[in-house]
A and B are shown apart, each in its own frame.
Chain A
Amino acid sequence: MMTNQRLRNYKSYIPGTLFILPAFVLFAIFIFIPLVYGLVMSFTDYGGFNVTPNFVGLDNYSRLLQDDYFLISLKNNFIYTLLFVPLTMLLALFAAIALNNILHLRKYLRISFYFPYITSMVSIAIAWGLLFNPVSGPINYILKAIGIANPPEWLMSSQWALLAIILVAVWKSFGYYMIILLAGIQGIPQHLYEAAELDGASKFQQFLYVTLPSLSPTLFMVMVLTIINSFQVFDLVSVMTDGGPGRSTNVLVFRIYQEAFVNYRMGYAAAMSTVLFLIIMVISLIQFRLEKKWVTY
Chain B
Amino acid sequence: MLTVINTTKRTKLPYYLLLLVLVIFSLATLFPFLWMISASLRTDVDLFKNPMNWIPQTLYLDNYKEVWQAIPFAQYFLNTVKLSVIITVLQVVICSMAAYAFAKLKIPFKNLIFILFMTNLMMPWHSIMVPQFSVVSSLGLYNTHSGYILIQLFSGFGIFLMRQFFMSLPNELNEAARVDGYNEWKIFWRIMMPLSAASLSTLTIFTFTFMWNDYLAPLIYLNDDNLKTLQLGLKAFQTEHTMDYGLLMAGTVLATIPMVAVFLAGERFFIQSVATTGMKN
B211 CB, nearest partner CB in chain A, Å: 11
Q: Which A residues, 225 to 256, have Cβ-Cβ distances below 8 Å to chain B?
A: 225, 228, 231-232, 234-235, 238-239, 253, 256
B29 touches A113 (CB 8 A): yes
Complex CA gap A64/B122 in Å reads: 24
Which residues of the other chain, B, contact A187 by a CB distance below 8 angstroms?
A: 1, 279
B203 interface residue per 8 A CB criterion: no
Q: Which residues of chain A are near B213, meaning CB under 8 Å? A: 119-122
| B225 located at the interface, meaning its Cβ lies under 8 Å from any Cβ of chain A in the complex | no
Q: Taking the complex as formed, is A101 at the interface, i.e. its CB lies under 8 A from any CB of chain B? A: yes
CB–CB A131/B32 < 8 A? yes
**Known contacts A127-B35, A256-B126: A13-B108 contact under CB 8 Å:** yes
Q: Does B271 contact A (CB under 8 A)?
A: yes
Q: Are the C-beta atoms of A35 and B123 separated by less than 8 Å?
A: yes
A145, B81: Cα distance in complex, Å:
43
Question: Chain A contacts of B277 at CB under 8 A?
Answer: 180
Q: 7 A-B contacts, Cβ less than 8 Å apart?
A: A30-B132, A31-B120, A35-B128, A126-B248, A225-B281, A260-B130, A273-B128
* B97 close to A112 (CB less than 8 A): no
Are B271 and A38 in contact (CB-based, < 8 A)? no
Q: How many chain A residues have a CB neighbour from B under 8 Å? A: 96
Instruction: Enumerate chain A residues within 8 angstroms of B101, measured Cβ to Cβ.
Output: 15-17, 19-20
Whether a CB of chain A sits under 8 angstroms from the CB of B154 is yes
State which of A19, A33, A101 has its C-beta within 8 Å of the C-beta of B135. A33
Instruction: Give the B interface residue count (CB, 8 A).
Output: 96
With a cutoff of 8 Å between Cβ atoms, the chain A residues found around residue B274 in the complex are 114, 176, 179-180, 183
Give A180-204 interface residues, CB cut-off 8 Å to B. Answer: 180-184, 186-187, 193, 197
* Chain A residues within an 8 Å CB radius of B153: 22, 26
Cα A31 to Cα B274 in complex, Å, equals 26
Q: Which residue of B lies closest to A266 (CB)?
A: B130
Question: Could you say which of B1, B19, B22, B116 has the most chain A C-beta atoms within 10 Å of its C-beta?
Answer: B22
CB–CB B5/A27 < 8 A: no
Q: Mark A81-102, 1 if CB is under 8 A from B, else 0.
A: 0000000000000010011111
- Type the 1/0 row for A194-230, where 1 means its CB is closer than 8 Å to any CB of B: 0001000000000000000000001001000100100
Q: Determine whether B129 belongs to the interface, using a CB cutoff of 8 Å to chain A.
A: yes
Q: How far is the CB of A271 from chain B (nearest CB, A)?
A: 10
B235 and A179 form a contact (CB under 8 A): no
CA distance in complex: A155, B261 (Å): 31
In the complex the two chains form, is B132's CB within 8 Å of A34's CB? Answer: yes
B57 CB-CB contact with A under 8 Å: no
Identify B29's interface contact among A24, A112, A126, A182, CB under 8 A: A112
* Cβ contact within 8 Å between A138 and B130: no
| Residues in B neighbouring A120, C-beta threshold 8 A | 212-213, 215, 230-231, 234, 255-256, 259
Question: Across the two chains, which residue of chain B brings its CB closest to A194?
Answer: B8
Known: A123-B256, A234-B216, A273-B128. A138 touches B248 (CB 8 A): no
Decide yes or no whether A48 CB sits under 8 A from chain B.
yes
A2 sits at the interface (CB 8 A) = no
Residues of chain B lying within 8 A (CB to CB) of residue A33:
131, 135
Contact B126 A273 (CB under 8 A): yes
Taking each of A99, A109, A179, A228, which has the highest tally of chain B beta carbons within 10 Å of its own beta carbon?
A179
Distance, CA A112 to CA B30, complexed state (A): 7
| Cα of A27 to Cα of B30 in the assembled complex, Å | 40
